[in-house]
């Protein structure tokens, strides 16, 4: 049995906030980040945000306008764009294929680049007529209602959100009155970042909480899905190991290989001979090349000074929150500036030192960092053979092969006896 931790946050298009959130996700073992208003780079035919070796990025299936929603998903968690995910920059739907859970991430606002744009939840076909029984709809809804924000008047667009809640029989996960958005000119935080769940999964969601110390004017919302359908090994950090050839003892590898090949008898079939050579190579590699395992880790420039300043920033965030943001405001502002300035300084210094190296390996590595590394998975594919959706890579390949290259028609042999 295992848990899936999800953190949702509006990063306000800030790259340093994104860096901070990714580091906190590593520290708290968070598997999914649902981001609204992400910091993005336009790469001509696609977008990407801050790269991280432990997470893959998922964007809406639409690149004509800047996306305002995205997901970071830990790399060993199997996910796909849902077939029902709309072609819209402000909404993305993904499937957690092993858990049969669907996540909907929405930024509810008019889009400044689209003429006569409606708020997201008022657009046609933004969500399917039906959603799976285990679905979570979350995001920045920019909507006030006494149900979740009793201190503020109801927004004019609230009826549209209430209609959506009724249509899909959603239940609110937020603690009513628990603020999720605050700026210094506000008397108290407001509630606009919301989480909803269908009845099929709401009982499995635990520990809904607000995290204010993430660097955005929106607070992070963290909750956990208790999922009994996945084994503990499914969510543990990847234990797939590979050979670290940079630290190999090639002289030892050569000696073992040479000694072992002299002991092979050549009087055997080709298949058996090939198998013997393979076993020798693997044996030599295991003895002379150390292995490395893939796991979640911090950025190379993240240091102890940043961690210490981060603790100070979190301390004043908690103090200010306990006082309903009436005290420690200046201390909080100073701590935040020191923290994010140190992140910016450490990142700049690290890459300047890296680029100043004169060895060829560093040059080619730097060039590889500038390339487009985003990998947008295709949605699940419907198979006509067994009438199901195929979500894994191998199943998708098999479905495409079967559909695009069907078995050719056959006929009986032609009889030429009386020709």
pLDDT in the model for residue 236: 42
pLDDT in the model for residue 72: 95
The length of the chain in residues reads 419
The Cβ of residue 401 has, within 10 Å, a number of other Cβ atoms equal to 10
pLDDT digits (tens, 9 = 90+) for 343-383: 888 888 887 877 777 666 666 666 666 665 556 667 777 78
Q: Which of 154, 18, 134 is nearest to 82 (CA)?
A: 134
pLDDT in the model for residue 360: 66
Among 3.60.10.10, 3.90.1150.10, 3.10.129.10, 3.20.20.70, what is the CATH number of 2-235? 3.60.10.10
What are the backbone angles phi and psi of residue 260, rounded to the nearest 5°? -70, -35
> CA 135, CA 131: separation in Å to the nearest integer?
7
Query: In angstroms, what is the C-alpha Rg of the chain?
Result: 27
The Cβ of residue 389 has, within 10 Å, a number of other Cβ atoms equal to 17
**Entry pTM:** 0.74
Q: Which of 65, 50, 62 is nearest to 17 (CA)?
A: 50
Count Cβ atoms within 10 A of the Cβ of residue 155 and give its class: 0-12 exposed, 13-18 middle, 19 or more buried. Answer: middle
pLDDT in the model for residue 234: 44
Whether residue 103 contacts residue 79, with contact meaning beta carbons closer than 8 Å, is answered with no
Residue ranges, the chain, pLDDT below 50: 1, 231-239, 294
> CA 56, CA 373: separation in Å to the nearest integer?
10
Whether residue 302 contacts residue 22, with contact meaning beta carbons closer than 8 Å, is answered with no
pLDDT in the model for residue 73: 94
pLDDT in the model for residue 292: 67
pLDDT in the model for residue 51: 87
**Cβ-Cβ contacts under 8 Å for 10 (sequence gap 6 or more):** 35, 36, 37, 107, 140, 181, 193, 216, 218
Mark 15-52 as b/e (b = at least 16 C-beta within 10 Å): bbbbbbbbbbbbeeebbbbbbbbbbbeeeeeebbbbeb
pLDDT in the model for residue 238: 42
Whether residue 70 contacts residue 58, with contact meaning beta carbons closer than 8 Å, is answered with yes
**Cβ-Cβ contacts under 8 Å for 196 (sequence gap 6 or more):** 136, 137, 138, 165, 168, 170, 171, 172, 173
The Cβ of residue 73 has, within 10 Å, a number of other Cβ atoms equal to 21
Q: Which of 54, 114, 111, 42 is nearest to 372 (CA)?
A: 42
The Cβ of residue 256 has, within 10 Å, a number of other Cβ atoms equal to 19
pLDDT in the model for residue 113: 82
Domain ranges of the chain: 2-235, 242-293, 304-362, 375-405
**Cβ-Cβ contacts under 8 Å for 251 (sequence gap 6 or more):** none
């Amino acid at each position: 049995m295992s848990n899936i931790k999800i953190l949702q946050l509006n990063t306000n298009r800030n790259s340093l906030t994104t860096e901070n959130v990714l580091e906190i996700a590593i520290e708290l073992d968070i598997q999914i980040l649902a981001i609204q208003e992400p910091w993005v780079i336009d790469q001509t035919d696609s977008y990407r945000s801050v790269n991280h070796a432990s997470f893959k990025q998922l964007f809406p299936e639409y690149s004509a306008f800047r996306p305002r929603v995205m997901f970071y998903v830990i790399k060993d968690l199997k996910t796909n764009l849902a077939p029902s995910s709309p072609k819209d920059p402000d909404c993305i739907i993904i499937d957690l294929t092993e858990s049969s859970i669907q996540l909907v991430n929405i930024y509810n606002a008019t889009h400044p680049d689209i003429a006569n744009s409606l708020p997201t939840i008022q657009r046609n076909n933004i969500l399917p007529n039906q959603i799976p029984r285990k679905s979570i709809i979350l995001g920045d809804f920019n909507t006030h209602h006494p149900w979740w924000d009793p201190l503020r008047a109801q927004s004019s667009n609230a009826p549209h959100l209430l209609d959506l809640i009724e249509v899909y029989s959603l239940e609110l996960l937020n603690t009513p009155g628990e603020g999720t958005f605050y700026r210094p000119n506000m008397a108290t935080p407001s509630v606009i970042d919301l989480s909803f769940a269908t009845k099929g999964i709401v009982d499995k969601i635990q520990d809904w909480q607000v995290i204010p110390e993430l660097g955005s004017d929106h607070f992070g919302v963290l909750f956990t899905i208790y999922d009994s359908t996945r084994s503990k090994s499914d969510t543990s950090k990847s234990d797939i190991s590979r050979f670290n050839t940079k630290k190999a003892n090639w002289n030892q590898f050569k000696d073992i290989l040479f000694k072992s090949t002299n002991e092979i008898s050549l009087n055997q079939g080709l298949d058996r001979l090939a198998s013997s050579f393979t076993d020798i190579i693997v044996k030599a590699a295991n003895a002379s090349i150390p292995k490395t395992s893939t796991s979640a880790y911090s950025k190379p420039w993240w240091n102890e000074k940043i961690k210490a300043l981060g603790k100070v920033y979190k301390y004043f965030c908690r103090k200010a929150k306990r006082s309903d943001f009436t005290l420690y405001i200046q201390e909080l502002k100073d701590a935040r500036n020191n923290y994010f300035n140190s992140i910016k300084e450490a990142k700049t210094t690290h890459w300047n030192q890296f680029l100043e190296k004169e060895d060829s390996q560093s040059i080619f590595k730097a060039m590889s960092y500038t390339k487009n590394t985003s990998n947008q998975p295709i949605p699940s594919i419907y198979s006509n053979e067994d009438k199901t959706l195929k979500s894994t890579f191998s199943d998708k390949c098999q479905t495409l092969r079967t559909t695009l290259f069907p078995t050719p028609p056959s006929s009986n042999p032609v009889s030429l006896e009386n020709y």
